[in-house]
Amino acid sequence: MSKNKYEEVLMKIEKTLKEEKNAWKKLERVCELLREIPHYQWVGFYLVRGEELVLGPFSGEPTEHVRIPFGLGVCGRAAKEKRILVVQDVSKESNYLACSPKVKSEIVLPVFKEGEIIGELDIDSHYLSPFSDEDVSFLEVVAREVSDILYSIWRELHGWGKTSNL
């Protein structure tokens, strides 16, 4: 993957974050833009609510996994362990929640606000071993860029005020 593609997508994301007013739409658009990376077939955000993850904005095929308990599947494990998980071959993951038979690999990045996990960025790929250190670095930047927006939606989810027009 050329570094230019990551930079191009990141520039589009930054533009979207500045121009779009609605927090949910911002993150939907981020998901769509991330899918411009050829090996990102499904991109979505999950929000933490108690000890579970609740599906937020996403782009790709619909998923039945709209709520995931901490510890279950790659997303639940990443939330419980509060760390990035890269699974290059989901068939070798004993704790994998199958979304689609097409999915071969997955990367999950927790999103933090003031040291607290508030959500995750989840990406599925239809390819084996597609994720590189470059993907991790790129997605860490994206996760930092969207943390305030995800936090505004997280606050709404918890009933702490309507703040989605950041």
The pLDDT tens digits of the residues spanning 112-159 come to: 999 999 999 999 999 999 999 999 999 999 999 999 999 999 888 888
User: Rounded distance, CA 68 to CA 46, Å?
Assistant: 9
**CATH C-level class of 3-157:** alpha beta
- The token duo for 71 is 């510890």
User: Rounded distance, CA 115 to CA 12, Å?
Assistant: 27
Determine the Cα angle at 87 with ends 86 and 90, to 5°: 160
Give domain limits for the chain: 3-157
* Exposure b/e, 88-111, CB count within 10 A at least 16 = b: bebeebeebbebeeebbbbbbbbb
Residue 98: per-residue pLDDT:
75
Residue 96: per-residue pLDDT:
80
